[in-house]
């Protein structure tokens, strides 16, 4: 029934969703459907959704609403287009989505992706169905996958989250934290390396708490050792909760040569009062202590973070504490978000009377500091020679390659006039000749 059909997967949200999308793509291909890049070309449009902030919700509704005007694809064997919604909004709203979005055929959640073929089958038979499972008992990740890039792999080592930060919806839509069995994940990493994967990113909402639910309680530091020992050229991980980042893991930045010198360590706020209301469990002093230890272990480590501005009750002084922390750490990158109230989370109950303009002004002031520090951080790489992993051509100019540095910076490399440009997935040596706020410019040396 799926022969000669096409599908697209549109992904919102975090890397976990991106990884899930790769598995959706794998499943659809196994059914005999062909992947296409745009919704217009697709018989089955699958949306992998995010509800971490209100904007993400709105984007989905806009996207799906605009679909009803798209005519039938030329050459399709089907009599209509099919729309499926999965991911975190699917998990949260389930059946309700079928009521509000009349041309949606299938809704599924984060714990039952493997049901999608069956649900689409029912849709082909004329039924609109929503199926969501409350949670799961064990880590399962055995669906076929179709990776976006052959040279890079995301490897989930945990799913779910037990932290219940007071503003965050993730634990409600992704369920309790479950760890992937140690041997299984190491074998998978090895098979990726054997297939030619150059970069593995270990994934979890909080990779540092890996193993607490497993027999023998293997620790995250042991995972790092074992995955590094597969010989993968570049190893990364995300995300780390500061309360669980151990000295042992910090030490790995000094001892494992293939662990890349970059760490995403979300701070959320620089004010102890706000951190407490956020239920983050650490203080700014603890966080700054971690930064010192990381820089002792790996002086050139590139740090990035997440910050929420305008959490309910945030005063100007609280905000100043955040600003001061961001200024003093000197991050390579800061993902800053305006607080977004999420129904069902404890923070949604806290009275919030800071005017919108005040929050926007704080956000703008934060961005200025972020930009200044990011620019300075990149200047330190000027005139260095580094190995970069080629990702593809730049969107705006095909004579420019985009590549990634060990510190996770974007590097633009001109290949104008070159007889043979390096291929995506190749690691090449570059001389950094310019450093901008958000990227570096390099000149190609020898390919390796």
Site residues for ligand F3S per CB under 6 A: 13-14, 16-17, 50-52, 87-88, 169-170, 173-174
Q: Which of 5, 112, 129, 163 binds ligand SF4 (CB under 6 A)?
A: 163
53 binds, among ligand F3S, ligand SF4, ligand SAH, none (CB under 5 to 8 A by kind): ligand SAH
**What is the spatial distance between Cα 20 and Cα 35, in angstroms, rounded to a whole number?**
15
**Closest residue to ligand F3S, based on beta-carbon distance:** 13
| 164 contributes a contact to ligand SF4 by CB under 6 A | yes
Minimum distance between the CB of residue 80 and ligand F3S, rounded to whole angstroms? 28
Alpha-carbon dihedral 84, 88, 89, 90, rounded to 10 degrees: 40
Encoded one letter per residue, x for contact with ligand SAH by CB under 6 A and - for no contact, window 249-278 reads: -----------------x-x----------
| 168 contributes a contact to ligand SAH by CB under 6 A | yes
171 binds, among ligand SAH, ligand SF4, ligand F3S, none (CB under 5 to 8 A by kind): ligand SF4
164 binds, among ligand F3S, ligand SF4, ligand SAH, none (CB under 5 to 8 A by kind): ligand SF4
Q: Which of 21, 91, 129, 239 binds ligand SAH (CB under 6 A)?
A: 239
Residue 375's region, left for phi above 0, alpha for psi from -120 to 50, else beta, is alpha
**Which residues from 196-225 bind ligand SF4, rule CB under 6 A?**
205-206
Q: Which of 171, 181, 251, 425 binds ligand SF4 (CB under 6 A)?
A: 171
88 binds, among ligand SAH, ligand F3S, ligand SF4, none (CB under 5 to 8 A by kind): ligand F3S
Encoded one letter per residue, x for contact with ligand SF4 by CB under 6 A and - for no contact, window 233-272 reads: --------x-------------------------------
308 binds, among ligand SF4, ligand SAH, ligand F3S, none (CB under 5 to 8 A by kind): ligand SAH
Q: Which of 104, 168, 250, 274 binds ligand SF4 (CB under 6 A)?
A: 168
Three-state DSSP string of the chain: CCCCCEEEEEECCCHHHHHHHHHHHHHHHHHCCEECCCCCCCCEEEEEECCCCHHHHHHHHHHHHHHHHCCCCCCCCCCCCEEEEEHHHHHHHCCHHHHHCCCCCEEECCCCHHHHHHHHHHHHCCCCEEECCCCCCCCCCCCCCCCCCCCEEEEECEECCCCCCCCCCHHHHHCCCEECCHHHHHHHHHHHHHCCCCEEEEECCCHHHCCCCCCCCCCHHHHHHHHHCCCCCEEEEECCCHHHCCHHHHHHHHHCCCECCEEECCCECCCHHHHHHCCCCCCHHHHHHHHHHHHHHCCCCEEEEEEEECCCCCCHHHHHHHHHHHHHHCCCEEEEEECCCCCCCHHHHCCCCCCHHHHHHHHHHHHHHHHHHHHHHHHCCCCCEEEEEEEEECCCCCCEEEEECCCCCEEEEECCCCCCCCCCCCEEEEEEEEECCCEEEEEEEEEC
Encoded one letter per residue, x for contact with ligand SF4 by CB under 6 A and - for no contact, window 122-161 reads: ---------------------------------------x
Which stretch, 59-67, 166-174, 283-291, 404-412, contacts ligand SF4 (CB under 6 A)? 166-174
13 binds, among ligand F3S, ligand SF4, ligand SAH, none (CB under 5 to 8 A by kind): ligand F3S
Pairing between β-strand 439-447 and β-strand 333-338 as defined by DSSP bridges: unpaired
- When the beta carbons of 101 and 238 are compared against ligand SAH, the nearer one is 238
Minimum distance between the CB of residue 161 and ligand F3S, rounded to whole angstroms? 8
Residue ranges that bind ligand SAH, judged by CB under 6 A: 52-53, 167-168, 170, 205-206, 239, 241, 266, 268, 306, 308, 337, 339-340, 342
């Amino acid at each position: 029934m799926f022969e000669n059909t096409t599908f697209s997967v549109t992904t919102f949200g975090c890397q976990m969703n991106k990884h899930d999308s790769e598995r959706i793509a794998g499943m659809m291909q196994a059914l005999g459907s062909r992947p296409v890049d745009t919704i217009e070309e697709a018989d089955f449009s699958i949306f992998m959704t995010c509800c971490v902030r209100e904007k993400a919700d709105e984007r989905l509704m806009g996207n799906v609403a605009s679909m009803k005007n798209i005519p039938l694809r030329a050459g399709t064997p089907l009599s209509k287009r099919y729309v499926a919604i999965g991911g975190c909004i699917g998990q949260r709203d389930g059946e309700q989505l079928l009521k509000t979005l009349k041309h949606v055929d299938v809704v599924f959640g984060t714990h039952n992706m493997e049901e999608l073929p069956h649900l689409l089958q029912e849709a082909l038979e004329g039924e609109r169905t929503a199926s969501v499972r409350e949670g799961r008992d064990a880590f399962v990740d055995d669906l076929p996958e179709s990776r976006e890039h052959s040279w890079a792999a995301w490897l989930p080592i945990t799913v779910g989250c037990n932290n219940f930060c007071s503003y965050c919806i993730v634990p409600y839509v992704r369920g309790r934290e479950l760890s992937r069995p140690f041997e299984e994940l190491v074998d998978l990493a090895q098979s990726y390396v054997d297939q030619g994967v150059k970069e593995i990113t270990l994934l979890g909402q909080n990779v540092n708490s890996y193993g607490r639910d497993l027999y023998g309680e293997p620790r995250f530091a042991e995972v790092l050792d074992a995955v590094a020992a597969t010989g993968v050229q570049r190893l990364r991980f995300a995300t780390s909760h500061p309360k669980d980042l151990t000295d042992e893991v910090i030490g790995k930045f000094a001892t494992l040569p293939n662990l890349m010198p970059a760490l995403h360590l979300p701070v959320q706020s620089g004010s102890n009062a706000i951190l407490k209301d956020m239920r983050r469990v650490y203080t700014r002093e603890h966080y700054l202590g971690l930064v010192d230890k990381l820089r002792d272990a790996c002086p050139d480590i590139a740090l990035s973070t997440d910050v929420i501005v305008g959490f309910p009750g945030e005063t100007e002084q609280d905000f100043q504490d955040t600003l001061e922390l961001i200024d003093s750490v000197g991050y390579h990158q800061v993902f800053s978000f305006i607080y977004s109230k999420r129904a069902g989370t404890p923070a949604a109950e806290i009275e919030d009377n800071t005017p919108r303009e005040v929050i926007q002004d704080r956000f703008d002031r934060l961005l200025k500091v972020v930009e200044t520090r990011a620019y300075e951080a990149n200047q330190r790489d000027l005139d260095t020679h580094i190995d970069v992993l080629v990702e593809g051509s730049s969107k705006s100019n095909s004579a420019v390659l985009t590549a990634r540095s060990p510190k996770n910076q974007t590097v633009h490399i001109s290949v104008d006039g070159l007889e043979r440009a390096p291929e995506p997935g190749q690691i090449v040596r570059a001389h950094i000749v310019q450093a901008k706020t958000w990227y570096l410019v390099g000149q190609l040396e020898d390919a390796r």
